[in-house]
């Protein structure tokens, strides 16, 4: 959170108030949408991956029509809030990892992210630091997240720069044999779905990143 109102926040408030005055939407619409947007998290996407690990037919649907497959985990991309327009572009693609291929998602141009199924972006995903460096130096950036992969594993960066939205479907880890969908859902963290971590038994939260204060604070 920022401590004072930034230029962008002032701009958002101005545009919102003008839109309400103009009758494009009501203050109540805005409140309901904000409430909806702040309540979605990564759980539906995690459940999608867990279901796909357990059900090959469902997995096929995730890879061919992820918008339709989202319905099985309670996310309707076309009408996510029950009113108004879709809250994002509606072309979701699931990137399937294999033992020799690992995907990681970034949006170099802004911070495009499959919000209806994954909630809001983590702050680091929006930073120019992550966006600029991941496309060019993916391995050192992933190492900062604690993820180091051998050269035999192809790292494929997906720069989400248009209307497609992406989640990563990691390989089901060893040690999860016989697990239920609920148990599997718990280890597919938000970071696993972006591709900066791999799921593993016992790991159910994202690793907190160390935040260093800049020596020379700038603006972006």
Partner 1 sequence: MSQHDRTHHAKIATGKGDPQCFKGTAGPAKFKVGQTVRIKDLPDVFYTRCQVYTRGAVGQVAVVTHESPAPEDEAWGHVDHSEWFYIVRFKQKDLWPEYPAAFANDTLQTEFSERWLEAV
Residues labelled catalytic: 107, 110-112
Three-state DSSP state, 62: helix
| Footprint of partner 1 (CB under 8 A) | 22, 24, 67, 77-79, 84-86, 89-91, 93, 108-109, 135-136, 138-139, 151-152, 154-164
Three-state DSSP state, 212: coil
Q: Closer to partner 1 at the Cβ: 154 or 181? A: 154
What is the b/e burial string over 73-103, where b = at least 16 CB atoms within 10 angstroms of the residue's CB?
A: bebebeebbeeeeebbebebbbbebeeeebb
Q: What is the dihedral of CA 118, 53, 163, 191, to 10 degrees?
A: 40
Least distance (Å) from partner 1 to the CB of residue 108? 6
Q: Closer to partner 1 at the Cβ: 86 or 201? A: 86
Least distance (Å) from partner 1 to the CB of residue 167? 14
Three-state DSSP state, 155: strand
Q: Closer to partner 1 at the Cβ: 52 or 142? A: 142
Distances (CA, A) of 93 to 6, 62, 107: 34, 8, 14
Least distance (Å) from partner 1 to the CB of residue 193? 17
């Amino acid at each position: 959170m920022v401590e004072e109102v930034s230029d962008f926040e002032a701009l958002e408030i101005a545009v919102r108030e003008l839109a309400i005055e103009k009758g494009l939407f009501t203050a109540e619409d805005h409140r309901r949408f904000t409430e909806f947007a702040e309540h979605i998290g990564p759980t539906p996407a995690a459940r999608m991956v867990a279901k796909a690990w357990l059900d090959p037919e469902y997995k096929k649907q995730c890879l061919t029509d992820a918008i339709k497959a989202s319905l099985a985990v309670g996310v309707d991309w076309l009408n996510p809030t029950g009113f108004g327009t879709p809250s994002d572009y509606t072309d979701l693609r699931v990137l399937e990892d294999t033992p020799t291929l690992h995907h990681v998602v970034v949006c170099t141009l802004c911070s495009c992210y499959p919000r209806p199924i994954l909630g809001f972006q983590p702050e680091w995903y929006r930073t120019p630091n992550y966006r600029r460096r991941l496309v060019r130096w993916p391995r050192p950036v992933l190492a900062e997240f604690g993820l180091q992969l051998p050269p035999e594993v192809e790292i494929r960066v997906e720069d989400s720069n248009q209307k497609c939205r992406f989640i990563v479907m990691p390989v089901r880890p060893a040690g999860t044999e016989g697990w239920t969908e609920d148990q599997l859902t718990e280890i597919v963290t938000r970071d696993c779905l972006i591709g900066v971590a791999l799921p593993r038994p016992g790991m159910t939260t994202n690793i907190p990143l160390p935040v260093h204060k800049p020596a020379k604070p700038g603006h972006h």
